[in-house]
Amino acid sequence: MDHGTLSLVTCLRVITCQLYVIVVSMSRCSPVSTFCVHRCDVVMSVQVVLQQRISSAQALLQRAEQLCQGVEGHQKLCAKLRAELRFLRRVEAGELQVKESHLHSTNLTHLTAIVESAESLEDVVALLHVFTYQDASGRRRTLVVDVVANGGHTWVKAVGRKAEALHNIWQGRGQYGDKSIIRQAKDFLQASLQQPIHYRHPHIVFAFYNGVSCPMADRLRDMGVSVRGDIVAVNAVVTEGGSDDDDDDDGDGDDDEDEEEEEEGQVAEDDQEKKKEEEPSELTRVDRGTVVASLAFPAQVQVEECRRVNLDITTLIAYVSSLSHGRCHFTFREPVLTEQAAQERCLQVLPQLDAFMAGKQLYACRAAVTDFQLILDTLGGPGEKERAQKLLNRIHLVDDQPSERTMRLTTSAKINQRSLMIFGTGDSLRAVTMTANSRFIRAAANQGVRYSVFIHQPRALTEGKEWRALPI
């Protein structure tokens, strides 16, 4: 907003206030003037709410910008907040005319819930992440997870709608097309079963920032969904035509329908599914004044770590490389080796590998070991060969046994037969594959196959090339 526009808006506010004073003094004279007083009250109320929303949006954007920087979805979250702020600014400038209820119906409530959820959790790896899954009928669906935390093991849905509105929708008193929280929880559980992390299904948490009724919280927990927020009582039975005083939809947009690729007829299908849900036997009213419990986010989720490790050929090489054993202060003739030496001086790979392998069962398939030994015989130095023998003595050698889904991958420049054998065998063993081959991981993911992996930087065999390298 430029200086001239700002001055105009200020003048209009002053004139409005002056008119308000004049009309109040005349309010006893006629019904028309009483109506004018009411209109002025409405204008002033809208201005107050508008300024509150703008202040809240600005503060929330500042928090979001400092939150989880570099994490997937961080920029998307900030962009949504900036869009909300632009909308409010347009209202402030007089470009848009809205009712006070519309100011309460922005996405700020939902976005606030997302920011507060991310601030309360550890190891956040994604925000507003879209997962693809198949529903019970085998049709492709998408699901937006507000916060993916604990290294991917926790999925959080942040809910900003009021407990009254959520409860009414669950009882079938919502608007046409509204999807109940229970139905959404079923979708989350269905999707999580198809998105394992190290062969463990993600834990689902629904975080309620405007409360949730006790019966709904109980139903969610029975389904295996954790609940965070204030759990409020229900105590008054209402008739079919009854309505809550406070069930206005605050329109926080927490369903992210714009993100999801819903096919035609989805709403009708959801309506049919709602009828099949276990609805309460009687209609009840939320008692917001009675908080049964206040639940914080669960502590760091304790996930049983996968104890099996499958070693890719790139890991076998990195583990025995001279670069990984202190011989990284060289400038090699080969630029890629010089680059790896510089990376090693900044970040040592061997401690990372040892830490991940500690206490676990180590496996390698024949395809990996055979090619590793061939490369070692060709390029390895004496020290590298000695370390290789010690490492192989610690490993369980298994036959190549690629998983069924691996064999459905289409080969390409990034997906070769050796990689299919190595990663497919790790998949069959339900082991985490250690690798520096990130190109294969991305290519497989593009074809819908996501492996459980531990990715590290590559290190080549360099002992045999030190004689012609320049010491640093």
pLDDT, tens only, 11-69: 445 445 554 444 445 544 454 444 444 444 545 567 777 788 888 888 989 999 988 88
Q: Please tell me the total count of domains within the chain.
A: 2
Is 5 domain-assigned?
A: no
In SS3 terms, 372-390 reads as HHHHHHHHCCHHHHHHHHH
273 has pLDDT over 90: no
Q: Which of the pair, 112 or 104, is modelled with greater confidence?
A: 112
CA distance 40 to 29: 17
Residue 431's pLDDT band (boundaries 50, 70, 90)? very high
356 and 228 in a common domain: no
Is 248 domain-assigned?
A: no
Residue 247's pLDDT band (boundaries 50, 70, 90)? very low
Percent composition of the chain: helix, strand, coil (DSSP 3-state, to 5):
50, 20, 35
* Strands, E assignment, 124-268: 126-134, 140-149, 154-159, 203-213, 226-237
Is 28 domain-assigned?
A: no
CA distance 214 to 425: 47
CA distance 29 to 297: 58
Is 82 domain-assigned?
A: yes
Cα R_g (the chain), whole angstroms: 30
CA distance 166 to 23: 42
Whichever domain contains 467, its CATH number is 3.40.50.1010
CA distance 177 to 183: 12
321 and 428 in a common domain: yes
Cβ neighbours of residue 72 under 8 Å, at least 6 residues apart?
125, 126, 127, 129
Cβ contact 115:103 at 8 Å: no
Alpha helices in 158-292 (DSSP H): 163-170, 181-193, 214-223, 266-276
Cβ contact 401:422 at 8 Å: no
Is 273 domain-assigned?
A: no
Is 422 domain-assigned?
A: yes
pLDDT, tens only, 445-456: 888 888 999 999
Q: pTM of this prediction? A: 0.70
Residue range(s) defining the domain that contains residue 392: 308-471
Question: Strand 308-311 to strand 361-365: parallel, antiparallel, or no bridges (unpaired)?
Answer: parallel
Q: Which of the pair, 277 or 350, is modelled with greater confidence?
A: 350
287 and 368 in a common domain: no
Amino acid at position 50, single letter: L
Cβ neighbours of residue 372 under 8 Å, at least 6 residues apart?
313, 316, 317, 364, 388
128 and 60 in a common domain: yes
Is 338 domain-assigned?
A: yes
448 and 314 in a common domain: yes
**Cβ neighbours around 162 below 10 Å, total:** 24
376 and 341 in a common domain: yes
Residue 414's pLDDT band (boundaries 50, 70, 90)? very high
324 and 197 in a common domain: no
352 and 291 in a common domain: no
382 and 322 in a common domain: yes
Is 6 domain-assigned?
A: no
Cβ contact 106:87 at 8 Å: yes
Give the tokens for residue 215.
């019966």
Q: Sheet holding 126-134: strands in order across?
A: 126-134, 140-149, 154-159, 203-213, 226-237, 284-295
Cβ contact 424:395 at 8 Å: no
